Amino acid sequence: MKGLQESEFVPFKRFCKDVGISTSLVTSQFPDLKVAYDERYRAFRTAQRVQRLQRFDAEVRVTVLLLRGRNEFPSVGRVVAENHSLRAGGWNRLQDAIRSTLNSG
């Protein structure tokens, strides 16, 4: 059960499968460990999501400043043409990040 407390990176069911234990056994015999594992995993995923959004915003900022340096308006189309990977963020998220960059100066 020590491994259960140390792992933070995979969903609970996958962890149990990887170490060869039954999820129902852990849930019934060690409910506090199951709850702790779920909380740590959720915190880990939240931190990952925040970091991903911060990286996206930083990439948008760099691209917008590059376009403005060339005296081009940073429309979504121009930003995506300059950095194709930003398309994955979605239209609305990209527009919000562009606006945020323009409003911050």
User: Residue 1 pLDDT > 80, yes or no?
Assistant: no
Rg of the chain in Å (alpha carbons): 21
Which pLDDT value is given to residue 9?
A: 80
Task: Write down the pLDDT at residue 8.
Answer: 56
Q: What is the domain extent for residue 45?
A: 2-104
| Distance of alpha carbon 83 from alpha carbon 65, whole angstroms | 13
Number of domains the chain contains:
1
Residue that has been written with the tokens 């398309």 in this structure: 87
Give the model's pLDDT for residue 5. 47
Q: Is the pLDDT of residue 6 over 80?
A: no
Q: What is the average pLDDT across 48-66?
A: 96
Of residues 65 and 2, the one with the higher pLDDT is: 65
Whether 10 contacts 45, CB under 8 Å: no
Phi-psi region of 58 (alpha: psi -120 to 50; beta: other; left: phi over 0): alpha
Average pLDDT over residues 55-74: 97
Q: How many CB atoms lie within 10 A of CB 89?
A: 20
